[in-house]
């Protein structure tokens, strides 16, 4: 094993050729400590001692006969290939979106409340944009994403997609109906007259200028500033003389 170097290999071969078993046990434990010092950064590993003994058996070609605290590994398992992982072979229309987007769309289709459904579809729309940007260099147009969203939903979210196409995605998250009414009050300011407020890029003005007139003491001079304070101080000195 290259990680321990040729000297460890030579020492392991020398220990294998020893006839006295007690001497082999002693030198094997000494070699284990030497191997431990070669990689001190792995001491925190829980199974590191077991790994050292397994490595020593592998270095010796499984010919080492010592009383180790761990059972020797089998030579057959050394070159054995790992089991094949059973990957999901489902046919995805757009692989960069994954299966979770389709599961979210199924839940959005089953949502009965119209406001929640619109918020749900808007959330999926923004999520699709983030996934698209993660796997593609180009920034997609809204029409492209909406077309793919309509294709994935199989025409079951036409009303919500048309709303997003005209007004943009709503600035709201789907309400949690299992929160005992707590989600009922969430995002109340995001809809007016039963409809959500669409996202818009607006830069509100700073409020510092609007509050200047509300503070009557903003520009009032301090009673301790100016020359009057200095004159009073000088008069006190003169009166003391």
Contacts of residue 127, Cβ cutoff 8 Å, sequence gap at least 6: 101, 104
At residue 158, does pLDDT exceed 70? yes
More confident residue, 124 or 210: 124
- 194 within 8 A of 155, measured Cβ to Cβ: no
Burial of 172 (0-12, 13-18, 19+ CB in 10 A): buried
pLDDT tens profile 159-197: 999 999 999 888 876 665 444 444 434 443 444 434 445
Query: Where is pLDDT greater, at 189 or 112?
Result: 112
Choose the weakest-confidence range: 51-65, 81-95, 214-228.
214-228
Two tokens, residue 219: 């520009």
Give dist(CA 127, CA 105) in Å, integer: 12
Range with the poorest average pLDDT among 34-48, 122-136, 142-156, 207-221: 207-221
- Compute the average pLDDT of residues 51-69: 90
- Over range 24-40, report the average pLDDT: 89
97 DSSP 8-state letter: T
Q: What is the CA radius of gyration of the chain?
A: 38
Residue pair 161/147 in contact by the 8 Å Cβ criterion: no
DSSP letters of 103-152?
A: HHHHHHHH---HHHHHHHHHHHHHHHHHHHHHH-SSPPPHHHHHHHHHHH
User: What is the average per-residue pLDDT within 118-122?
Assistant: 92
With a pLDDT cut of 70, the percent of the chain lying above it is 67
d(CA 56, CA 67): 13
Res 102: pLDDT: 86
Query: What local confidence, expressed as pLDDT, does residue 89 receive?
Result: 62
The pLDDT, as a whole number, for residue 161 is 92
pLDDT greater than 70 at residue 203: no
pLDDT tens profile 73-84:
888 877 777 788
DSSP label of 241: -
Please give the residue that has the higher pLDDT: either 156 or 94: 156
Weakest-pLDDT range from 123-132, 139-148, 221-230:
221-230
Higher-confidence residue: 35 or 171? 35
Which residue reads 């199924």 in tokens?
106
The mean of the pLDDT values for the chain is 75
Question: Is the CB of residue 72 less than 8 Å from the CB of residue 57?
Answer: yes
pLDDT band at 201 (very low <50, low <70, confident <90, very high): very low
């Amino acid at each position: 094993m290259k990680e321990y170097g040729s000297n460890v290999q030579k020492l392991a071969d020398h220990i294998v050729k020893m006839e006295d078993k007690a001497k082999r046990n002693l030198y094997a434990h000494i070699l284990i400590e030497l191997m431990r010092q070669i990689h001190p950064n792995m001491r925190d590993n829980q199974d590191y001692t077991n790994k050292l003994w397994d490595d020593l058996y592998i270095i010796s070609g499984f010919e080492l006969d010592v009383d180790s605290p761990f059972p020797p590994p089998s030579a057959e398992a050394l070159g054995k290939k790992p089991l094949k992982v059973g990957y999901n072979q489902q046919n995805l229309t757009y692989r960069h979106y994954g299966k979770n987007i389709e599961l979210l769309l199924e839940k959005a289709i089953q949502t009965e409340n119209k406001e929640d459904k619109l918020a749900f579809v808007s959330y999926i729309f923004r999520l699709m944009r983030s996934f698209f940007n993660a796997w593609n260099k180009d920034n997609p147009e809204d029409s492209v994403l909406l077309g793919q969203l309509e294709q994935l939903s199989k025409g079951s979210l036409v009303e919500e997609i048309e709303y997003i196409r005209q007004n943009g995605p709503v600035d709201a998250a789907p309400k949690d109906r299992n929160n005992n009414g707590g989600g009922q009050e969430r995002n109340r300011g995001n809809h007016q007259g039963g409809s959500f407020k669409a996202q818009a890029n607006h830069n509100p003005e700073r409020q510092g200028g609007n509050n200047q007139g509300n503070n009557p003491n903003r520009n009032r001079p301090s009673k301790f500033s100016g020359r009057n304070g200095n004159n009073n101080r000088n008069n006190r000195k003169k009166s003391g003389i």
